[in-house]
């Protein structure tokens, strides 16, 4: 007689849900992964290499004296708060990548062609209706 298939099967292993500690360790490991610099940042860093040789730390700090405090106040009056807040919002935006940008651009062009064809069709039909019934 043939043996039943149950002897050949491996036991099923059930995984329990991860604990809080395991989730925290996984999140920390994800945060420690090196992040590739974006193209703009990479290009900017290449462009600023000659200037970094002049200032090895790479930072430029304006002195905190009375003149610069006055300049900061004047600029605060000249630049409305709206523009400052708008710039902060723009910096928080997650911009699409090159591939996604092309895909979305193609979708816009296709939608424009379809919508243009629909408007053209409605215009031709209404033109014929007005010629037959109203301009008789």
- CA of 49: how far to CAs of 44, 55, 58, in Å? 9, 10, 9
pLDDT score for 2: 55
Per-residue confidence in pLDDT tens, the chain, 136 aa = 555 555 677 777 777 778 888 888 888 888 777 766 667 677 777 776 666 666 555 555 555 677 777 777 777 677 777 887 888 888 888 888 999 999 999 999 999 999 999 999 999 999 999 998 887 7
**What's residue 70's pLDDT?**
76
Query: Given this model, what pLDDT does residue 51 score?
Result: 62
Measure the CA–CA gap between 108 and 28, rounded to whole angstroms: 40
> Which residues are CB-neighbours of 48 under 8 A, at least 6 positions away?
none
Structural tokens at position 129: 């209706």
Q: What's residue 37's pLDDT?
A: 61
Contact, 45 vs 37, CB < 8 A? Answer: yes
Residue ranges covered by each domain of the chain? 41-93, 96-136
User: Quick one: pLDDT at residue 7?
Assistant: 61
Please tell me the predicted confidence (pLDDT) of residue 35. 64
């Amino acid at each position: 007689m043939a043996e039943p298939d149950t002897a050949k099967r491996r036991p099923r292993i059930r995984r329990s849900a991860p604990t809080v500690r395991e989730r925290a360790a996984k999140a920390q490991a994800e945060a420690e992964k090196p992040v590739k610099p974006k193209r703009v940042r990479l290009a900017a860093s290449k462009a600023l290499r000659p200037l970094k040789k002049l200032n090895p730390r790479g930072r430029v700090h304006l002195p905190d004296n009375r003149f610069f405090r006055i300049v900061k106040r004047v600029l605060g009056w000249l630049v409305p708060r709206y523009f400052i807040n708008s710039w902060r919002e723009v910096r928080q935006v997650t911009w699409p990548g090159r591939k996604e940008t092309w895909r979305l651009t193609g979708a816009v062009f296709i939608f424009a062609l379809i919508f243009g064809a629909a408007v053209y069709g409605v215009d031709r039909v209404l033109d014929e209706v007005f010629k037959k019934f109203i301009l008789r």
